């Protein structure tokens, strides 16, 4: 009597027992692929499955692109040639990218946006008073208040009136120097960065639309440009009345003459607001 403990069966002779062990499915030797949850009758069949099944093909993945490649060399070629993997060198101030460090360095060296003048119109104005201790890091309005105190100019003082006109001319020259012409997209981008508009407009016409209704002080914009800041933003006001109140309190007055001649082609012209109802056309 032969007994199969696995099946809990008994056989009358050894021949029947051996046939059972050979033919019963429970005793058939199988080769299993666990990932696929499949079985094969031979090692060669399993090997062929592992070799040919797409599930088991070794892939080389590019995670940023969500793409797979059949070889490391194919992946390397993709990384080398795909624009998505091109190394870029960014100029944060201009929001532009360059293909090499040399190209970025050349841009920084020659771009108008990066050329800091050694002496601006406001610098020349304040330094025209020899004994006045001028600090170019101060806001223009603060420097002018110090100059008035230094020179002892009272209201309607003739010398003070002349100096005020020269100061306003210097402010106007700074506006043209820092913010450029209406047909210059870089000038619009500089203005949008100053007042915190993102994303930057793609055309000059778009720029005109996005700044419509924005209330900021022109002297603050000039001060922002002179500081060379790339992170700080100019204070914005929710209404013309708030801007008028701020301008009166701080004395940050800009006398607009940009639209009196052909020099009115500057981006800041679109931010000018009439503030004071006087004979003098003062704007912020």
On whether both 134 and 268 belong to a single domain, the answer is yes
Number of domains in the chain: 2
Inside any domain, residue 217: yes
On whether both 125 and 221 belong to a single domain, the answer is yes
On whether both 28 and 129 belong to a single domain, the answer is no
| DSSP-based three-state secondary structure for 138 | coil
Distance of CA 70 to the CA centre of its chain: 36
List per-residue pLDDT tens for the chain, 284 residues long.
778 876 778 877 888 777 777 777 666 667 788 888 887 777 888 788 888 787 777 778 888 788 888 788 888 888 878 877 766 677 766 667 777 777 777 766 656 566 556 689 999 999 999 999 999 999 999 999 999 999 999 988 999 999 999 999 999 888 888 887 888 888 888 888 888 888 888 898 998 898 888 999 989 999 998 887 767 899 999 998 999 899 989 989 887 665 545 455 567 777 776 655 544 444 44
On whether both 137 and 251 belong to a single domain, the answer is yes
Please compute, for residue 184, the number of CA atoms within 13 A of its CA located in the half-sphere on the CB side.
Answer: 17
Inside any domain, residue 68: no
pLDDT of the residue at 60: 83
pLDDT of the residue at 34: 81
Q: Which of 115, 127, 230, 133 minimizes the C-alpha distance to 177? A: 115
pLDDT of the residue at 74: 84
On whether both 232 and 126 belong to a single domain, the answer is yes
pLDDT of the residue at 141: 94
Inside any domain, residue 67: no
pLDDT digits (tens, 9 = 90+) for 33-58: 888 888 777 788 878 888 878 777 77
pLDDT digits (tens, 9 = 90+) for 155-188: 889 999 999 999 999 998 888 888 878 888 888 8
Tokens of 199: 């994303």
Inside any domain, residue 91: no
On whether both 137 and 29 belong to a single domain, the answer is no
Q: What share of the chain is helix, strand, coil (3-state, %, to 5)?
A: 50, 10, 40
Q: Which residue has the tokens 């771009």?
A: 111
Residue 237 has φ and ψ, to the nearest 5°, of -120, 150
Residue-number span of the structural domain to which 7 is assigned: 2-44
pLDDT of the residue at 28: 63
Answer yes or no: are the C-beta atoms of 252 and 217 closer than 8 Å: yes
Across the chain, where does the E strand assignment appear?
2-4, 9-11, 31-33, 38-40, 60-62, 67-69, 89-91, 96-98, 215-216, 236-237, 254-255, 282-283
On whether both 137 and 33 belong to a single domain, the answer is no
Inside any domain, residue 138: yes
Inside any domain, residue 106: no
Q: In this structure, how many other beta carbons lie within 10 angstroms of the beta carbon of residue 58?
A: 8
Inside any domain, residue 128: yes
Q: Which of 226, 181, 231 minimizes the C-alpha distance to 208? A: 181
Inside any domain, residue 19: yes
């Amino acid at each position: 009597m032969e007994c199969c403990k696995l099946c809990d069966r008994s056989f009358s002779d050894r021949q029947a027992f051996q046939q059972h062990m050979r033919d019963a499915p429970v005793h058939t030797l199988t080769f299993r692929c666990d990932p696929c949850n499949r079985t094969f009758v031979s090692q060669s069949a399993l090997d062929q499955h592992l070799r040919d099944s797409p599930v088991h093909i070794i892939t080389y993945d590019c995670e940023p692109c969500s793409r797979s490649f059949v070889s490391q060399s194919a992946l390397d070629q993709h990384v080398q040639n795909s624009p998505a993997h091109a190394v870029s060198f960014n100029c944060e101030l201009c929001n532009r990218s360059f293909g090499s460090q040399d190209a970025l360095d050349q841009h920084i060296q020659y771009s108008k946006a990066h050329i800091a003048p050694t002496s601006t119109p406001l610098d020349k104005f304040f330094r025209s008073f020899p004994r006045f201790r001028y600090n170019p890091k101060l806001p223009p309005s603060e420097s002018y208040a110090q100059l008035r105190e230094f020179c002892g100019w009272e209201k309607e003082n003739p010398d003070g009136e002349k100096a005020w006109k020269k100061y306003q001319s210097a402010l106007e020259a700074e506006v043209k120097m820092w913010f450029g012409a209406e047909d210059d997209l870089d000038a619009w981008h500089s203005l949008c960065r100053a007042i915190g508009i993102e994303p930057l407009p793609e055309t000059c016409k778009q720029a005109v639309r996005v700044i419509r209704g924005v209330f900021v002080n022109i002297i603050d914009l000039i001060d922002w440009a002179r500081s060379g800041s790339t992170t700080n933003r100019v204070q914005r006001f929710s209404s013309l009345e708030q801007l008028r109140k701020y301008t009166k309190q701080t004395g940050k007055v800009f006398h607009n003459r940009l639209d009196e001649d052909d020099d009115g082609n500057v981006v800041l012209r679109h931010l000018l607001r009439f503030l004071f109802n006087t004979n003098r056309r003062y704007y912020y």
